[in-house]
Every structure is written in C-alpha cells, then in structure tokens.
Amino acid sequence: MIKRVLLLMLAVGMIGGTAQAETPQQILDNLVAQAGPANAARGEKLFRSKFSGGKNADSCTACHTDNAKAVGSHVKTNKVIDPLAPVAQKDRFTDPAKVEKWFKRNCNDVLGRACSAQEKADFTAYMISIK
Ligand code: HEC
C-alpha cells in the first residue's frame, strides 16, 4: 500500500515537473511527426552551406566549426561553444525548449528566417548520425 502511494506520488511528480529531459531520438521523433521523414545528408548540407540572408553569420559552421564534434567559438563574442553533436557533448538535443530556442535564434542569424520543421528534423538527424 505504502509502495503504491509512493509510486503514485512519483508518477504525479514526473508529469507535473517542468524540465522534461528527452533523448535526442525523442526530439528527432517529435520533429519527424511534424515534418515527415528526416534526411541526415540534407541536414549536413544545411550545416555546411553558406547563406546570404543572415544577420550575424553566413553559416552554422561560422560558430560551430565545420566539425560538429569540435568546440566552437561565437563569431561575434568569441564565447566558447560546446560541440553540437551528442556523441561529443551528451546534453545536446535533450532539452526540447533549448533546442527550439537556439534553432530559432541561429536560423534567424544565418538564414534570416526561422528554419522549417523539415530543416530542424534533418539537422537533428545529422547531429545524431555523427559517430
Ligand atoms: C553566431 C553564432 C552561431 C551560429 C552562426 C550558429 N549557432 Fe547554433 N548555437 C550558438 C550558441 C551560442 C548556442 C548555445 C550555446 C551552447 O549551447 O553551447 C548554440 C546552440 C545551438 C543548438 C542547441 C543544441 C542543444 O541541444 O543544445 C542548435 C540546435 C543549434 N545551435 C543549431 C544551429 C544551426 C542549425 C545553425 C545554422 C543555421 C547554427 N546553430 C548557427 C551559436 C551559433
């Protein structure tokens, strides 16, 4: 009986909790549910392409370097940026709100617009595929 009450409290606590940690695969699954199948090769192309509509940088690699397993550096502030690939930085793509926040900011900085769900799915698939 006491065990059951404890389990119930645990379950309620988990549902009521705010910080929802997910796995990179769950984050990808959510994006795929919105966009359709993801394509890691297209995601890599987005990562490596140069754009001209951006405000702060012409590419993702400007800050994240061309190696997603490497430590990056902010093109304006020189602030150190941890690697983007989950294989090199284990908390990457585990916090949906953080992922959304930075897609929004960085796509605007580089593309001059928000990324589509498809672009986000592809990019996330590429990051997960890096071994
Ligand atoms: C002007 C520098 C800059 C550019 C250019 C940039 N980023 Fe980032 N990015 C950052 C910073 C700063 C963070 C957050 C700091 C951190 O988490 O280490 C970040 C974090 C992220 C995250 C969060 C991942 C996670 O789970 O923690 C994603 C996703 C991301 N960037 C995607 C992109 C994409 C896609 C592009 C290209 C369209 C891009 N970034 C270009 C600076 C940049």
Can you list the residues of the chain whose pLDDT is less than 70? 1-19
Cα–Cα dist 29/106, whole Å: 21
Share of the chain above pLDDT 70, in %: 85
* Residue found by looking up tokens 């394509």 in the block: 39
Q: Whose CA is nearest to atom 15 of ligand 1?
A: 81
27: left (phi over 0), alpha (psi -120 to 50) or beta: alpha
Ligand 1 pocket, 75 CB below 6 A?
yes
CA contacts within 13 A on the Cβ side of 54: 19
Mutate-to-test residue for ligand 1 from 26, 46, 64, highest number of ligand atoms within 8 A of CB? 64
pLDDT value at residue 53:
87
Cβ–ligand 1 distance for 99 under 6 Å, the answer yes
Residue 109 is encoded by which pair of tokens?
Answer: 């900085």
pLDDT number for residue 72: 98
